[in-house]
Amino acid sequence: MAEERSTRDRLLDAFEQLIVGAGSRAATLDAVAAEAGVSKGGLLYHFRSKEALVDAMVERLREQAARDVEAMRNAPEGPVDFYLETSVDTGSDFDRALIAGARIAQDQDPGARAAMADIRDAWFSVLDEHLGDAALARTVLLIGEGLYFHDSAGIGDAAALGQVREVLARLP
């Protein structure tokens, strides 16, 4: 049986969906309330403004990212494979949150920009600890970002991940 999401989470989900699907300008308070199936008064009970929605979305994104970094660090297949394997848009809540966070960061929101930078730095830190080579860790990070960008933009290539693994296997 699926777990019932709280009204607060449904509102944040709706906010992210609108940002991802139509952009931040379309994610008005009225549109968020309608998308979540909540009255505007219900939305305002949880979030007094769009800025409050952004702040809560960024906070939730940070929590999701912390769980992802921990999973990456403890992945049986190792951090590099975990990172590359998850560098695709699977449609998960975390993927939606990342895309929404990136779009809000592009709107020059300082909290979203800081969160996106902190997430990237956390992934880099795990890769660097595992590989012991900052340049290689940065390269893997950028490869993963490229895979994610291409996949989320709908221009990904199914063979790309295998080719990346093949090239990385050639490294000493």
The CATH number that applies at residue 99 is 1.10.357.10
163 class by beta-carbon count within 10 Å (0-12 exposed, 13-18 middle, 19+ buried): exposed
Of the candidates 65, 33, 29, 35, which has an alpha carbon nearest to the alpha carbon of residue 49? 29
Can you read off the two tokens belonging to residue 43?
């939305």
pLDDT of amino acid 88: 85
Q: pLDDT exceeding 90 applies to what percent of the chain?
A: 83
pLDDT of amino acid 42: 95
pLDDT of amino acid 142: 96
pLDDT over 70 (residue 34)? yes
User: Does any domain span residue 165?
Assistant: yes
User: Does any domain span residue 2?
Assistant: no
pLDDT over 50 (residue 1)? no
Q: pLDDT exceeding 70 applies to what percent of the chain?
A: 98
Q: pLDDT of 3-33, one tens digit each?
A: 578 999 999 999 999 999 999 999 999 999 9
Contacts of 154 (CB under 8 A, 6+ apart): none
pLDDT of amino acid 172: 72
User: Does any domain span residue 1?
Assistant: no
Q: Give the separation between CA 106 and CA 113, rounded to whole angstroms.
A: 8
Q: Give the separation between CA 41 and CA 33, rounded to whole angstroms.
A: 9
pLDDT over 60 (residue 61)? yes
User: Does any domain span residue 133?
Assistant: yes
**Greatest Cα pair distance in the chain:** 60
Q: Coil, strand or helix: which one is 120?
A: helix
Q: pLDDT of 91-101, one tens digit each?
A: 899 999 999 99
Q: Quick one: CA torsion of 107, 112, 116, 118, rounded to 10 degrees?
A: 140
User: Does any domain span residue 96?
Assistant: yes
Chain-centroid distance, C-alpha 106: 14
30-43 average pLDDT score: 96
- For the question of whether the overall pTM of this predicted structure is more than 0.85, the answer is yes
Q: What is the mean pLDDT of the chain?
A: 93
| Domain enclosing residue 117, as ranges | 7-169
Residue type, 113: R
pLDDT over 80 (residue 55)? yes
Q: Give the separation between CA 65 and CA 115, rounded to whole angstroms.
A: 9
Q: pLDDT of 136-169, one tens digit each?
A: 999 999 999 999 888 878 888 888 888 998 998 8
pLDDT over 70 (residue 2)? no
Q: Quick one: CA torsion of 147, 100, 33, 27, rounded to 10 degrees?
A: -110
User: Does any domain span residue 13?
Assistant: yes
Count of domains forming the chain: 1
